[in-house]
Every structure is written in C-alpha cells, then in structure tokens.
Amino acid sequence: MAGKIWVLTEVLEGNVVPVGLELLTKARTLGGTVEALLFSPEADKVVGTLGEYGATTVYAASDPAYNEVLLGGPAADAIAELVAEHKPDLILIGATYTGRDIAGRLSVKLDAPVIANGVDVSANGDISVQTAIFGATQVVDTKFDGGKPGIAVVRAKSFAAEPGGGGAPTVVPITTPVAEQHRKARVKDRVVAKSEGPTLEDAPVVISGGRGLQDPKNFELLHQVAELVGGAVGASRAVVDAGWVPYAMQVGQTGKTVKPTVYIACGISGAMQHTVGMKGSKNIVAINKDGEAPIFKLADLGVVGDVLKILPQLIDALKARKG
Amino acid sequence: MNVVVCVKQVPDPNSAGQLDPSTKTLKREGVEVVLDPGDEYGIEAGLQLAEAHGGQVTVVSMGPEKALDAIRKALAMGAAKGVLISDPSLAGADALTTAKVLAAAIKREDWQLVITATESTDGYTGTVPQMIAELLGVPAVTFAKHIESDGTKLNVNRQTEAGYDVVEADLPAVMSVTAGVFEPRYPSLKGIMAAKSKPVDRLTVADLGLDSPSAGQTITNVQPAEERKAGEVVEDDGTGAQRIVDYLASLKVI
C-alpha cells in the first residue's frame, strides 16, 4: 500500500504523453490515492483523460508563463510547495527530457532521493523501484528509506497504458508563480521536427543501424526499409557518438527504449549499452557479418552476412511484394 | 569565460560491468576503466567556448584515486586544471550526494559555465546536471545539441521528444551536452606531456565542508535478468534478405 502517489504528466500537441498514462495505470495497482501533476496551457483539454486513467485529483498549472521558460525550475518549485502541503509518499516521473529536469531539481529542493531508470515499481511494505543495469543483464531492487517522498524516474514503455474507467477528477489549480530567476533561461521557439511515418516509440517495426553500415549515407537504406514496412529508424550509440545521426535516434541505455513487434539490428554488434534499449522487443532480427557478435544471442532470426549487400536485396524483395 | 566540466571515470562501456553482490556497489577490480566517452563532448565544448571567449577549463571529478587518469586525459585535451574528490564515504554515492559534492567543489572555483554530459554511461540516473544547477541557483540548459555563445549568453538547441527548443540563457548556467555536439579532439603528444605537470586539487568530503552523505535509498536485491532465448542464425547464401521478408510476413507486420 503506497498511500498517496503523484504522477507527473506532460502534454504534447494536445495529447497526454504516453508515459504519463503508463504511470497512472501502474499507480492504480499500488493501492492508495492516485493524483496527477500537470503543467500545460492546454491542461483543461486533458484532465478528463487523466481521470480515465486513474487520477482522482489533478494539480494543474495552466499559466502560460511556465511555457516561456524551461519547465524544470518552476515546476520543481511548485511541486515542492504542494509536497509540503499534501505529503505524497511517491512521485512517479517519466524519463522524458523535461521529466528528468524536474526530477533533479525536485530532489534537491526536497532533499529526497531519486531513483532513476525504473522499469517497475512495487509497494509491498516499502516502496521499491526496480532498475535494469549493465545492459539489462542484472536487475536491482532499490527501496526508499522513507520519511520523505520517493522520486522515481521511470523509463517509457515499462507498463502498458490502460484506462481504468475513472470519472472526472477534481482539478486543483497550481498558483505558484514563475520565479524571476527562472526567466534567465528563456524558450524562444519550440521546433517540431516533422518526420515521415511513426515515431521510434510507436512504430511496429524499428530498424536500427550501427558501425557495420560503414558510412552515414548508408542510413538511407534503413530509411527505405522503414518506409516500406511503416517502421522507424534507430541507431546505436557508437554511430550517434560518431555524429552520423542525431541523439534523438539513439536506442539504448542512454537513449530510448523501444519494444516494437519486430526490431531489426543492422551492423550492430550488440553492446550492452544498446541491448538494454531493445531486448524487450517482441521479435528481433539481426544482420551482422561477425557470426560471433553478441547480438545473435538475442536474435530470433540472425543472418550472418554483409549488411550492405543484404539491405538492397531486402528493399527489392519488399518492393516486389508490394507489387 | 571560465568553464568547469564535470567528468566521470566509468567501466569501459564495451566490457560487462557488474555489481558486487556483497557490497552492492560497482565492482572495480579487474575492470578496465576509461573517461566516460560522453564526457569528451563536454570537455570539447568547454575548450571551444573558453578558446573563443578567453578563460580556462577546469575539470572536476568525484571518484576513487584511479579517476586521476580520467582527469589527466581531460588535461591532455587542453583543460588547465583538475579537481578530484576522493573519499571512502562516497563509495556507492547516489545522484543527490554526487551532485552535492560536485556543486560544493564547483563553488570553490571561478566559473561562468558548468558543462556536463547528459548522463553517465554507468550510473545513468541522468539527473545530476539539474541537481547541480539547483544547488548553484542557476539555469539548467539541458540536452544541448547545438551551442552558440557571445560570451555572456548561451543560445542552445535543446533536444525534446518532438524536436528541439531554442533556448536563450544568461550566464552563469549549467549546460548538459548530448553526444556528437562537437567532435572531441584527440590529445596531442605535447598535450599528454603537458598534462603531467598541470595542477590537480585533491579534496575529501571534509575539505568541502559537507556532512557524511546519507542516501535515503537502499539496494535490497541484485539478481541476473531473465535471459532471452536465442533463435535461428543462418549464413547469408544470397537468400538472407528473402528469409527476413518471410519472417516479417509470418509476424504479419508486412
């Protein structure tokens, strides 16, 4: 039984970011009261959804001033004030960019511990967070010692999001103003990178490339496959570090977690840094010229061969199939 | 612009790390340790900003004695000075403790900008940069993927789920940088030689005037994760692509 659980929720283009709904769904199973925190000018559009997924109360800040600065500072200020008044036991935060900004600052303000990279949460007596380390070869349970709210930063896709049939929540406006010091970092523009096709997190097929592609321009082959199968393109840290593709495409420990129906690893050896982000995929295909590559230990179908030969053949075969 | 860059020595990301089941902290014996590859981007960013606007780079690290090697690498790249905080009480320190130690060490320096990676490769809580900013009372410009500065302000493209935010921040500030933001330079032979005589301050928790850390969290269990079963591995004899197509079809994704 976890007492009072708060879930930080974010809104993107009018919709609740999925990890928020995943965390609300999980929070419902922990026993106790589930409440949501929301900082968005579009708050009124989504409170109904938050209720459906289990929030009985939503603390909402719709002051656009929050949107003019980086949210981490003022959101942590506001949450810290609410914590002093309402004393939650656990604060669940999705491992988004802004979620991490808020969690770090809040941890300092409350002098309370944060456990990051959670993949599961339990509340049998103590509140405990499970994390996967070293490429998910080891699983660690860490409990909060109590006395202060525990802050858990949980990876997206750790839980399925399912509505619980809850009604409209009570909405409590957050009135904490944005402190002057936070205006020292101003958001001048928010650029939405329009990408064709589904996102890495939502795509049924993810095709990722690593060093074995030999040249950044060969990522074009992956984009062609992705387009043919309605998938998205990811990358290993090695090629992100090498500057071939942007950080946003990185799958792995320090990147995104994906759990598509099929994950196709092309020229990726399968370093643990990478596998932690993809080993939860339902099916895994690997193409690599080194038959000893660790990626083959995870693959449901492994093809030992030259990825630069196989990918063009794969594109032709997929095109032929489409007719 | 004087820049402090926070760095960490980590087990080689290409080798398998392990937690010691008895102490529940990172096994360091017999494991190759390296400067966190993610930190090289921060060092490079710091060097470029200091070179463009005048000033110097100080690298700060918390870790065991051996972490001096990581600091020396940063010095060889061009940083002017190192600070290493080593203390037995810091073994297994959590993110908040780490941030308190680093922030206290940074406060002793003359700085306008603190640069970190977005997260360490081994611990990867990914919250230490924001904690340091809160402790120092300055903006946290996080996940920078493009950086410009006139010496008094930062203009940064900050990675977001949807794309990026264009952020303008006054200095002083903390900035975390994503991999690939700049191409890190290789230490020259001259740099490596010079690094040996550059100053490195050695500090303990007591030197920083901090109390012994209290974590607020306890590891209760460490166990191996469930292994995924390997499937079929075939040599490509020209039919590899077709095998993949057949497999995708059997899963009904095409």
Residue A113 sits in a domain whose CATH number is: 3.40.50.620
State chain A's mean pLDDT as an integer.
Answer: 93
**For B237, nearest residue in chain A (alpha carbons):** A305
Q: Is the per-residue pLDDT at B16 higher than 60?
A: no
Same domain membership, residue A151 and residue A62: yes
The Cα–Cα gap between A72 and A282 comes to 34
The Cα–Cα gap between A255 and A276 comes to 10
Same domain membership, residue A212 and residue A103: no
Overall number of domains in chain A: 2
Confidence of residue A287 (pLDDT cuts 50, 70, 90): very high
Contacts of B11 (CB under 8 A, 6+ apart): B17, B26, B28, B31, B32, B33, B34, B122
Q: Which residues of A touch B168 (CB under 8 A)?
A: 185-186, 188
Output the pLDDT for position B32: 84
Output the pLDDT for position B102: 97
**Higher-confidence position of B24 and B253:** B253
Same domain membership, residue A32 and residue A140: yes
Q: Which residues of A touch B37 (CB under 8 A)?
A: 241
User: Residue A315 class from Cβ within 10 Å (0-12 exposed, 13-18 middle, 19+ buried)?
Assistant: middle
Same domain membership, residue A170 and residue A66: yes
The Cα–Cα gap between A272 and B16 comes to 7
**Residues B149 and B53 sit within 8 Å (Cβ to Cβ):** yes
Output the pLDDT for position B14: 64
- Of A155, A184, A213, the domain-final residue: A184
Same domain membership, residue A21 and residue A150: yes
Whether residue A194 lies inside any domain: the answer is no
CB contact under 8 A, B234 and A188: no
Q: Which residues of A touch B231 (CB under 8 A)?
A: 284, 299-302
CB contact under 8 A, A313 and B241: yes
Tokens of B222: 């460490």
Confidence of residue B42 (pLDDT cuts 50, 70, 90): very high
CATH number at residue A292: 3.40.50.1220
pLDDT in tens, B234-247: 999 999 999 999 99
For residues A196-216, average pLDDT = 92
Give the percent of chain A with pLDDT over 90.
Answer: 79
Whether residue B245 lies inside any domain: the answer is no
Q: Is the per-residue pLDDT at B128 higher than 70?
A: yes
Whether residue A67 lies inside any domain: the answer is yes
Contacts of A29 (CB under 8 A, 6+ apart): none
CATH number at residue B151: 3.40.50.620
Q: Which of B246, B196, B155, B126 is nearest to A262 (CA)?
A: B246
Same domain membership, residue A263 and residue A165: no
Whether residue A32 lies inside any domain: the answer is yes
**Residue corresponding to tokens 């010692």:** A145
Least confident span in A106-115, A130-139, A281-290: A130-139
Whether residue B211 lies inside any domain: the answer is no
Output the pLDDT for position B152: 95
Residue A279, by phi and psi: left (phi above 0), alpha (psi -120 to 50) or beta? alpha
In degrees, rounded to 5, the angle at the alpha carbon of residue A274 between the alpha carbons of residues A271 and A275 is 85
Whether residue B59 lies inside any domain: the answer is yes
- Of A149, A184, A219, the domain-final residue: A184
Contacts of B14 (CB under 8 A, 6+ apart): A271
Same domain membership, residue A312 and residue A216: yes
Shortest Cα–Cα distance, B199 to chain A (Å): 30
- Which string of b and e fits A144-160 if b means at least 16 CB within 10 Å? beeebbbbbbbbbbbbe
Q: Give pTM, 2 decimals.
A: 0.90
Whether residue A121 lies inside any domain: the answer is yes
The Cα–Cα gap between A250 and A232 comes to 12
The beta-carbon neighbor of B180 closest among A143, A148, A243 is A243
Same domain membership, residue A215 and residue A177: no
For residues A280-303, average pLDDT = 95
Contacts of A290 (CB under 8 A, 6+ apart): A269, A304
For residues A105-120, average pLDDT = 94
CB contact under 8 A, A104 and B129: yes
The Cα–Cα gap between A22 and A95 comes to 12
Give the percent of chain A with pLDDT over 70.
Answer: 98
Confidence of residue B154 (pLDDT cuts 50, 70, 90): very high
Q: Whole domain around residue B64: which residue ranges?
A: 3-203
For residues B74-99, average pLDDT = 94
Same domain membership, residue A168 and residue A221: no
Same domain membership, residue A156 and residue A86: yes
Whether residue B46 lies inside any domain: the answer is yes
CB contact under 8 A, A317 and B133: no
Q: Whole domain around residue A213: which residue ranges?
A: 205-322
CB contact under 8 A, B215 and A237: no
Distances (CA, A) of A220 to A28, A244, A256, A312: 43, 12, 21, 11
Same domain membership, residue A215 and residue A175: no
Whether residue A193 lies inside any domain: the answer is no
The Cα–Cα gap between A153 and A8 comes to 10
Q: Is the per-residue pLDDT at B90 higher than 70?
A: yes
Whether residue B253 lies inside any domain: the answer is no
- Distance spanning both ends of chain A, measured CA to CA: 57
Same domain membership, residue A215 and residue A268: yes
> ipTM score of the complex?
0.90
pLDDT in tens, A55-94: 999 999 999 999 999 999 999 999 999 999 999 999 999 9
Residues in chain B: 254
- Of A184, A219, A239, the domain-final residue: A184
Cis before B172? omega within 30 = yes
Whether residue B246 lies inside any domain: the answer is no
Overall number of domains in chain B: 1
Whether residue B235 lies inside any domain: the answer is no
Q: Is the per-residue pLDDT at A118 higher than 90?
A: yes
Confidence of residue B91 (pLDDT cuts 50, 70, 90): confident
Amino acid type, A8: L
Q: Which of A59, A74, A76 is nearest to A114 (CA)?
A: A76
